[in-house]
Structure 1
């Protein structure tokens, strides 16, 4: 999971999240957790929290980029039309 977090491999993190969601309840149903299992679960929880933070930051960044693209759409269209006019010599 740490490698997927570091590389922001969202597909792998989604698969791990799905696996955790189905496996952990099955493990919990088997009875008391040992001290080592509780420690591993705590480490997993911390790593999962880090993955959520990274995902949230990436989501926020993508939202900002999409907003910027939408805000600049009119300028891009004008640039594209001007470029087409320059290349073809035909006014749009």
Structure 2
């Protein structure tokens, strides 16, 4: 699964996760495109790792998800997140 967070029409965060377990494979967060003040709130709440990398685990519900591969019947998605079938770059963040 690929989960994407949008703000002002741009993707500011993304997380690839295994569809069956939900375990994160990789993630990204672009502070310059995120909602104003969000990065500071996430840092204050401890949603950072390593050298200050902001983790997507502290973000609100993703804007959308894209099923990459595997059997969705055996997996799970984040409740309330709409699916998209459109592949390719979103403005502001390359994720393919």
TM-score of the two chains, using structure 2 as the length reference: 0.20
Structure with the larger helix share: 1
Larger Rg: 1
Structure with the larger strand share: 2
TM-score of the two chains, using structure 1 as the length reference: 0.21
